[in-house]
Amino acid sequence: MITAEVVYKYKVTVNKLDSQDFIDLPLPTILDILNKTILGYTDAIYGINNLFRQGVESFQRRIDDLEALVVNDLPNITYISAGNNIFTGALPDNYLHLLRSYSLATKDLCVDRALRNIQYSHDELNDILVSKDPYKYPSFEWQELPINISSGKIFGYTDGTFTCTELHIEYLKTPTQIDLAGYVHLDGSASANVNSELPDYLLEDIITLAALHTKAIIGDTEGYKLLSADLAKNRNL
């Protein structure tokens, strides 16, 4: 769906349930609302506690929904030693969520063994490393590497007996920000036609969600309720 159609459908959705006030927002404001909704929707549909309250078993369905955002063809990322048995790899600028990953590691004469990356929170990692939990501690032999993601980097933690060399990741990229020609950005550059890579059926949900946000902002309680019911019906909630 091209951006011009997305904007048109948003305007129609916002105004079709409003019997008194016609909402005529400037184009840059509409695009800002839509782009924030696209990013928020991507987070929500991917996360386990997602917008549609689906369980972990529907993970593959959610990835299928966001297939256009999946990146799995990058060259391996080179690890850099950060000291204290920690190795870091810089994530791509467009990184949003990790889907799958593995690391290559070397110990003595055994080179480039693939280790399964297991992601933990900072607190979980601290407990694992301090307690040396035998079921979660880094292990070259068991091919398991605890990792953590922070500040645009992946951190891999070893037990000091092996080194991490390369990282392979499959991830969701940040959605493209849609735009429409005909106005000037705040930085003085001219706008251009940029379409979303997401499929039409997701954009339909996003349009409804963007209209919901608008209704909430302007205090249209009745319109918000009707749109919420419509979205829930479409998603069989």
In the predicted model, what is the mean pLDDT of residues 123-149? Answer: 94
- Where does the pLDDT of residue 20 fall: very low under 50, low under 70, confident under 90, or very high at 90 and above? low
Q: What's CA 208's distance to the chain center, in Å?
A: 20
- CA–CA gap between residue 172 and residue 98 (Å, rounded): 6
- Quote the crossing angle between the two packed helices 221-234 and 200-218, to the nearest 10°: 160
Q: Give the single-character DSSP code of 56.
A: G
Cβ atoms 92, 71 nearer than 8 A: yes
Residue 79: per-residue pLDDT: 96
The domain locations on the chain are: 3-65+203-234, 70-173
Residue 229: per-residue pLDDT: 57
- Output 194 or 22, whichever has higher pLDDT: 194
- Output 217 or 163, whichever has higher pLDDT: 163
Q: Is 58 exposed, middle or buried (0-12, 13-18, 19+ CB in 10 A)?
A: middle
76-107 confidence digits (pLDDT tens): 899 999 999 999 999 999 999 888 899 999 99
Parallel/antiparallel/unpaired status of strands 163-173 and 70-71: antiparallel
Of 8-22, 31-45, 78-92, the range with the lowest mean pLDDT is 8-22
Residue 55: per-residue pLDDT: 43
Of 23-32, 55-64, 130-139, 228-237, the range with the lowest mean pLDDT is 228-237
Helices (H), the chain: 3-16, 27-46, 59-65, 122-131, 200-218, 221-234
Which residue, 39, 42, 64, is CA-closest to 51? 42
In the predicted model, what is the mean pLDDT of residues 161-184? Answer: 95
- C-alpha distance from residue 219 to each of 18, 151, 198, 225 (Å): 11, 37, 30, 11
Q: Is 15 exposed, middle or buried (0-12, 13-18, 19+ CB in 10 A)?
A: middle
pTM across the whole model: 0.80
Cβ atoms 69, 175 nearer than 8 A: yes
- Where does the pLDDT of residue 57 fall: very low under 50, low under 70, confident under 90, or very high at 90 and above? very low
